[in-house]
């Protein structure tokens, strides 16, 4: 047994430190000490550690729960928004989509979707902003008339405002005039079509073109 001289710790005076046995490959070293008197007394202050920023791409527990709820959420938000100031055109759209859903091809593929209609560009934009708060990723398609009255946004301005509000789906502008005719009064409409602000500009009489787009959309 080996006895060491008196040692001093940070706050305790130790008479002796005894090693009970020499260490070997299979033995355990045992340290035995007994404090004799208290040298100093003080208090320890604990401070909270600074918050560590979450790494990029990390989803915390509460955020993960919210994210999962959004993924599994079944909402009633429409997949398609339609905008036209003419009530008769609303009737035509209802008839068009009803026939599209009732077609043999649609029945085979179990095609179904929600549609919402508005009468002005301003109403359409506000509706999109409300749906955006749901976080469901809808709508996926917007169909809007080009001319909707002198005191309302036209289809071009509506499309630009939708893009600025964060809409990244397809936008179809329909008009009684061709794209070349519209460009005479709306200088930027061709550029908007070529850059993807507007995905397609169709004549209102081109029902087959609208059907083709709907097939590509789904």
Q: What is the per-residue pLDDT across 60-76, written as a single tens digit (0 to 9) for each?
A: 555 545 544 555 457 88
Task: State the residue for tokens 């169709």.
Answer: 202
Model pLDDT, residue 98: 83
Q: Which of 132, 182, 135, 134 is nearest to 162 (CA)?
A: 132
Higher pLDDT, 200 or 100: 200
Model pLDDT, residue 5: 47
What CATH superfamily is the domain 82-217?
A: Response regulator (3.40.50.2300)
- Whether residue 218 contacts residue 140, with contact meaning beta carbons closer than 8 Å, is answered with no
Structure tokens at 29: 């070293």
Q: Would you tell me how many other CB atoms lie within 10 Å of the CB of residue 35?
A: 12
Structure tokens at 146: 């080009």
Q: Measured between alpha carbons, how far is 75 from 78 in angstroms, rounded to an integer?
A: 9
Whether the pTM exceeds 0.95: the reply is: no
**Average pLDDT rounded to a whole number, residues 38-65:** 51
Q: Measured between alpha carbons, how far is 201 from 182 in angstroms, rounded to an integer?
A: 10
Strand partners, 171: 142
pLDDT digits (tens, 9 = 90+) for 149-193: 888 999 999 999 999 999 999 999 999 999 999 998 888 999 999
Residue-averaged pLDDT of the chain? 75
Model pLDDT, residue 49: 52
Percent of the chain clearing pLDDT 90 (strictly above) = 44
Higher pLDDT, 18 or 152: 152
């Amino acid at each position: 047994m080996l006895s060491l001289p008196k040692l001093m710790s940070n706050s305790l005076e130790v008479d002796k430190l005894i090693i009970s046995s020499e260490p070997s490959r299979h033995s355990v070293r045992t340290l035995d000490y007994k404090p004799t008197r208290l040298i100093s007394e003080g208090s320890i202050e604990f401070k909270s550690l600074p918050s560590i920023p979450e790494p990029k791409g990390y989803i915390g527990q509460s955020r993960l729960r919210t994210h999962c709820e959004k993924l599994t959420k079944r909402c009633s938000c429409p997949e398609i928004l339609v905008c036209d100031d003419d009530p008769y055109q609303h009737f035509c759209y209802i008839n068009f989509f009803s026939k599209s859903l009732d077609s043999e091809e649609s029945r085979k593929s179990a095609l179904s979707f929600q549609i919402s209609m508005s009468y002005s560009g301003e109403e359409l934009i506000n509706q999109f902003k409300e749906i955006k708060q749901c976080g469901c990723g809808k709508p996926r398609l917007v169909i809007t008339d080009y001319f909707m009255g002198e005191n309302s946004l036209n289809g071009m301005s509506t499309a630009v405002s939708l893009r600025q509000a964060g809409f990244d789906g397809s936008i179809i502008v329909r008009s009684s005039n061709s794209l070349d005719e519209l460009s005479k009064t709306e200088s930027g409409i061709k550029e908007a079509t070529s850059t993807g602000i507007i995905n397609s500009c169709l004549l209102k009489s081109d029902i087959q073109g609208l059907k083709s787009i709907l097939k590509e959309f789904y």
